[in-house]
Amino acid sequence: MEYDVVLVGSGFGSLTAAALLVKKGLKVCVLEQAKYPGGCSSSFKRKGYYFETGATTLVGLDHHMPLRYLLDETGTDIPSRRLEPSMQVHLPNGRTVTRYGDLDKWIKEAENAFGEKNQRPFWEHCYQISKQVWRTSLQQRSFPFSNTEDLLFSAVRVRTGQLKLIPGAFRTMEDVLRKYDLLHNKLFTQFVNEQLLITAQNYLHEVNELFGATALCYTLFGNYYIDGGLINLVNPVVEYIRRGGSEVKFGHHVQRIKAATIGYEIATNKAVFRSRFVISGIPLNNTLEIFEDGGLKNKLQKYVLPSEKLNGAFTMGLVLQKMPPPKVLHHQVHVPEGLPVIGSKSIFLSYSHPEDRSRAGAGEIVASVSTHVPHPEESLIQEKSVIEAAIIEVLDSKGLINKESIIYNQSATPGAWIFWTKRAFGAVGGYPQYRDLKPWQMKDARLDHNGAYVCGDTVYPGQGIPGVCLSGIIAAEKLAQDHL
């Protein structure tokens, strides 16, 4: 079976790259080991209910953001509901703060919760950086650089505002809080740390200012809900690929990729495929294992993070009945004493929209619950019931659920993620940000500088749906830049 491009995995990075390459007239084939597309940005059906596989929040539809770029380029329409407010955070002192989408309204909320001192200049500073980061990310699609042509393209696209971002790569969010004399505000630093963990996958002393400001301000951009779950974000992109004469194949677990006389040979559990180009949309840890090229393996090794630097997740899917319709769909709950067994200090809860009858029946709500599990390879969770009970107790005490309202409960550990997704260690959420790893040192889209590329949540920028989408845009751009 011959194609111009074979893509490994159908995560949103792969689907983005595939769709953009189909638009350029290439014949592509996306190989997915599971029975449905989307990877960690999708939904699955169980017991008649639709649960999210991983991500539950959707941003990136605003102007100058990656998802908007993809939809505009492909003419794809995604029916969605805009959420306002997007989230509430339940603090350790018992107070609840609402993450309003309006900057001024949010600043007033933050001042009431954390004290007036320097909240306004801090948030205005972060918001300006986040806007410029998103603009720059789409303008500089040759970044990170890995050849002279990248540098030339970037030089042509450079703008004054982009240069002003450079110092932020050398500062951590800890430095920023220190600058605004907020580092000694314990309640605020706890809030910042747990908010950073959602999108940057790390804490303020490790996350640089560029990623940190963008992570903290994602609620200040459009937040959306898609009826039926994120599978209905994914399916229109799959349909676009197929309408363009290309393919998405399920049940194909890629086991080996080797260079051929021309292009690559990709072997799955079912068949062998040949293509001129290949894009890996699976984590770098897994990508390392499937390429036979020893030289590439050695080069890739320096970018791969071990389990102790990654996060897994403990997730729960609940079906609730006889509950008042939630006014806010997304909640982060601080657990300062830490959850038993795994020790994580916050829980993320997302409800289905009360008007969305495609995920649950009348009078029912689907709730997705997740919490971080550090060093997932070592976290062999055998007593799930202990963690489940603790989470339910916390959510019940905050009035977010009623224990008696639960009619269905399922949970999953990093081990389940390994089984269902094949992701190394069961790691989720992408690579965490670390202060010793500057943006230009992260893995760029080229794997072998011949015809192999990579995208997804473990390469730059690779955080959340907008970041993963951007990684697919960059992979498609560099392939076209190099060969078309």
pLDDT tens figures, 238-281: 999 999 999 999 999 999 999 998 999 999 999 999 999 999 99
Structure confidence at residue 305 (pLDDT): 94
Report cis status (omega within 30 of 0) of the bond before 326. no
**Residue where the block lists tokens 């240069």:** 163
pLDDT at 393 over 70: yes
pLDDT at 332 over 70: yes
- Cβ-in-10-Å burial (0-12, 13-18, 19+) of 187 comes to middle
Q: How big is the CA angle at 154 (ends 478 and 146), to the nearest 5 degrees? A: 50
pLDDT single digits (tens) 336-354? 999 999 999 999 999 999 9
Average pLDDT over residues 204-211: 95
Structure confidence at residue 462 (pLDDT): 67
- 336, 193 contact by CB (below 8 A): no
pLDDT at 45 over 80: yes
Weakest mean pLDDT among 81-90, 153-162, 269-278, 449-458:
153-162
Please report which confidence band the pLDDT of residue 231 belongs to, taking 50, 70 and 90 as the band edges.
very high
pLDDT at 439 over 90: no
List the structure tokens of 158. 């450079």
Weakest mean pLDDT among 293-297, 422-426, 454-458, 462-466:
462-466
Q: Output the CA torsion 195→200→203→208 (10° steps).
A: -120
- 425, 384 contact by CB (below 8 A): no
pLDDT single digits (tens) 130-161? 999 999 988 888 888 888 888 888 888 888 77
Q: Which of 442, 463, 439 is nearest to 171 (CA)?
A: 439
The pTM assigned to this predicted structure is 0.95
Residues 6+ apart with CB under 8 A from 81: 224, 225, 226, 227, 353
Report which DSSP code applies to 336. Answer: T
pLDDT at 417 over 90: no
- 335, 345 contact by CB (below 8 A): yes
pLDDT at 222 over 80: yes
Q: What is the length of the chain?
A: 484
Structure confidence at residue 411 (pLDDT): 94
Q: Considering the chain, what is the average pLDDT of its residues?
A: 94
Average pLDDT over residues 307-319: 95
Structure confidence at residue 419 (pLDDT): 87
